[in-house]
Amino acid sequence: MQSLTLNPTPRVEGVVQLPGSKSLSNRLLLLSSLAQGRTEVNNLLESDDTGYMTAALESLGVSLTFANNGKRCLVESNGGPFAVQQADLFLGNAGTAIRPLCAALCVGEGEYTLTGEPRMLERPIAHLVDALSQLGAVIEYEGVEGYPPLRIKAAGLRGRRVSIRGNVSSQYLTALLLASPLAEDELEIQIIGNLVSKPYIDMTIDVMRRFGVTVENEDYQAFRVAGGQVYQSPGTALVEGDASSASYFLSAAAIRGGTVRVNGVGADSVQGTSSTPTSWSRWERWSVAGQTSSKFPGEICAVLNLT
């Protein structure tokens, strides 16, 4: 039997550069691909989910140019639905890719298949497919009903009222919201029951706002988005550092004492998991820094100083 001895440190000091948020990375990649113009996405997370998303977007005709070891991506798009009208997309086990892409593909024209690893084929998607079907989408199950793989026969989405359960994955609602501006008319999404994971929906709404689209939120029970729109590139888009990763380093300083600077996420973060520091009575300050940084313009950070 092997053992590992860890000697405690008397004090924690240091600076941490957080990896980009997975959820934000794929949201920004998708909207950049649907937006009019060129978008530079910075602090992009390198992960399986983003890898499958970028491969799918390139298969759909989107121009992606990477720099800074893959952390910076220049996305060029003409705006609106994808140009390629036939594609077979393999998405691994990336739920943050298959669900929003399923909805986004429906707003254009063409025929697409979405599949993935064996684990992906066990992940339910029926709630999203049912909602899209209410809007006129034609989606067929290629295997077990309610699960990928899917075949999409896209011919645009009608704007109308659609209902979706609120106590299932928030990724279904996110997928509908991200695709909604490209529907023919206004889309109203009614939530059945209480909505789970509200911070992730706030994140989605904030990202859409950055690309020029307003979502009307009626106390998380209904959402309205005008149809017939085209996302507009903001020029640059910064992926916040993953807030859940920040909690480990900040907690270390809270336990042992010291100063930890976490670059990439701040008090105005759109991630729900960033609320951890606000629960500490000795939390010193959030601050904005790195405005002149040439690497990530507008870089944000958090500082915890406990003695």
In the chain, what is the straight-line distance between the N-terminal and C-terminal CA atoms, in Å? 39
Question: Both 187 and 279 in a single domain?
Answer: no
Question: Both 156 and 230 in a single domain?
Answer: yes
Q: Which domain holds residue 42?
A: 22-237
Question: Both 260 and 293 in a single domain?
Answer: yes
In a domain, 141, yes or no: yes
pLDDT of residue 207: 97
Residue 305 structure tokens: 């100083």
pLDDT of residue 287: 43
Question: Both 183 and 211 in a single domain?
Answer: yes
In a domain, 162, yes or no: yes
- Which of residues 237, 258, 280 is at a domain's end? 237
Please choose, from the candidates 260, 244, 243, 263, the residue with its C-alpha nearest in 3D space to the C-alpha of residue 307.
260
Question: Both 51 and 111 in a single domain?
Answer: yes
Q: Let me know: does 265 contact 296? Beta carbons within 8 Å.
A: no
Question: Both 46 and 135 in a single domain?
Answer: yes
Question: Both 249 and 215 in a single domain?
Answer: no
In a domain, 3, yes or no: no
Task: List the pLDDT tens digit at each of the 307 positions of the chain.
Answer: 788 888 878 888 888 888 999 999 999 999 999 999 999 999 999 999 999 999 999 999 999 999 999 999 999 999 999 999 999 999 999 999 999 999 999 999 999 999 999 999 999 999 999 999 999 999 999 999 999 999 999 999 998 899 999 999 999 999 999 999 999 999 999 999 999 889 999 999 999 999 999 999 999 999 999 999 999 999 999 999 888 888 788 788 777 788 888 887 766 677 755 444 544 434 444 444 422 222 233 344 455 454 4
In a domain, 5, yes or no: no
Question: Both 110 and 256 in a single domain?
Answer: no
CATH number for the domain spanning 87: value is 3.65.10.10
In a domain, 168, yes or no: yes
- Which of residues 237, 258, 291 is at a domain's end? 237
In a domain, 107, yes or no: yes
Report the number of distinct structural domains present in the chain: 2
The pTM of the full predicted model, rounded to 2 decimals, is 0.86
pLDDT of residue 255: 78
| CA distances from residue 238 to 120, 123, 176 in whole angstroms, order as listed | 29, 30, 23
In a domain, 116, yes or no: yes
**What SS3 class is residue 128?**
helix
Question: Both 183 and 267 in a single domain?
Answer: no
- Which of residues 217, 237, 257 is at a domain's end? 237
DSSP3 helix / strand / coil % (the chain, rounded to 5): 30, 30, 40
Which residues, listed in sequence order, are joined to residue 235 by a DSSP beta bridge?
Answer: none
Q: Which residues fall within 8 angstroms of residue 23, CB to CB, at 6 or more apart?
A: 96, 200, 203, 271
